[in-house]
Amino acid sequence: MEEQLNSLLEFLHDGNPNVRQLALNHLLGYTVKSSQLQNIFKQNNMRPISDLKNICREDPVIAHDAFKALVNLASDDEICKELNDDNFLHLMIKMITDSKIILSDMACMLLSNITKYQDISMKFLKMENQQVEGLSNSTKAIDQLVDVFVRGLDRVYNKEAEYHFLASVFANVTMLPQGREYFLTTASYDDVTPLSKLIVFTEHPNIIRRGGVISCLKNCCFAIEHHLDMLSPSKINVLPYILLPLCGPEEFDLDDMEGMPEDIQLLPSDKKREPDAYLRQTLLESIVLLTTTRQGRMILRQKKVYPVIRQMHLVESDEKVSIVVEQVVNMLMRDEGPEEDNIVENIRSENPDLGNDNTIEEI
């Protein structure tokens, strides 16, 4: 079987496009991580990977399968290094930002896989692209992708693309301090902080979109120096977008509502909590991180975070989520020492699931 597949690999650079398409069609099933023959794509100094990158530039029918193959193969470290190619990265950016490209979502999927590798994330943060009329006034690739993620909702920008997987790209790049700094700094081209464009999607019905945004938000909470801006209603204002997914249909007492963000004071009777336990845990871990400083804890108390968490705790059935709920309660209800301020090390020792600031679980 392996010998036959090796023969097929030679046809990936055949001069006849029909032959290339037929060969790729037969090889596609062996690109998955569970395939025992996935390593055949590494032979001849990664020639098959080079061929697949070239096919991505062809007719969408065959390019679709090439992208699908690379999405699967990108789980391998050696292959991913081969995809750390400036020309190929620029191709993906152009395909994502062009409103007439059919395979924009496939390019988003591949970019979400390869930006899990720090070298590629770092390069992506620095990349430039030609200004795209009708999309963004910036020439920075990441600015353009944030804008297309927002403007492309419901296939408004490109009828063939939804751009949900860009949320995973943003989650990946915020594993880096430089990525967090980007999302928490006001952009010069539109005077808007990029994170503030994303947080409105923490309750989006698509789990890829909202999951990536929630992970990006949690990663940004590691930037302690930005906590006041993140909590300020006149600046980034993340708190309503963390609390809303944690709220159900329960009503709050008038005393509890005093000081609460207006967005969560009067919720409809059919309000649903985030159904995914991992995402509820991630949102709660964001709150834990925001309790790192005394000022952060004071703001969370003033904003009546505790009543929201208390109501959630009454109906929470997942053990891991309940543990983080209790940690939030402990941080908010604790007595403050006279000189106590930053307590990040205590938080991490009490909650090892927070990990460190360069790890994230894929959604």
DSSP string, 266-298: S--TT----S-HHHHHHHHHHHHHHTSSHHHHH
In three-state secondary structure terms, 140 is: strand
Predicted confidence at residue 362, as pLDDT, reads 30
**How far apart, in whole angstroms, are the C-alpha atoms of residue 150 and residue 147?**
5
* The pLDDT value given to residue 336: 82
d(CA 294, CA 310): 21
Q: Are 194 and 147 in contact (CB under 8 A)?
A: no
CA 238, 239, 245 angle in degrees (round to 5)? Answer: 100
Q: How far is CA 13 from the centre of its chain?
A: 35
Distance between CA 145 and CA 320 in Å, rounded?
34
Would you say 125 and 176 are in contact if contact means Cβ atoms under 8 Å apart?
A: yes
Largest alpha-carbon pair distance within the chain? Answer: 76
pLDDT in tens, the chain (363 residues): 788 888 899 999 999 999 999 999 999 999 999 999 999 999 999 999 999 999 999 999 999 999 999 999 999 999 999 999 999 999 999 999 999 999 999 999 999 999 999 999 999 999 999 999 999 999 999 999 999 999 999 999 999 999 999 999 999 999 999 999 999 999 999 999 999 999 999 999 999 999 999 999 999 999 999 999 999 999 999 999 999 999 999 889 988 899 999 999 889 999 999 999 999 999 999 999 999 999 999 999 999 999 999 999 999 999 999 999 999 999 999 888 765 565 554 554 444 455 444 332 232
pLDDT value for 110: 98
Give the model confidence (pLDDT) of 199-243 as tens digits.
999 999 999 999 999 999 999 999 999 999 999 999 999 999 999
Domain ranges for the chain: 1-83, 221-363
The DSSP bridge partners found for residue 233 are none
Other CB atoms within 10 A of residue 149 CB: 27
Joined tokens for residue 53: 């990158």
Instruction: Provide the pLDDT for residue 343.
Output: 59
Which residue type does 174 have? T
341: CB partners within 8 A, 6+ apart = 293, 294
Supply the pTM of this predicted model: 0.92
3-state class (DSSP) for residue 238: coil
Residue 128 pairs in a beta bridge with 140
CA distance 171 to 164: 12
The sign of the CA dihedral 207, 169, 354, 260 is negative
Q: How far apart, in whole angstroms, are the C-alpha atoms of residue 301 and residue 289?
A: 14
The sign one gets for the Cα dihedral 228, 230, 234, 239 is negative
For position 29, what pLDDT does the model report? 95
**pLDDT at res. 6:** 87
Residue 195's identity, in one-letter code, is L
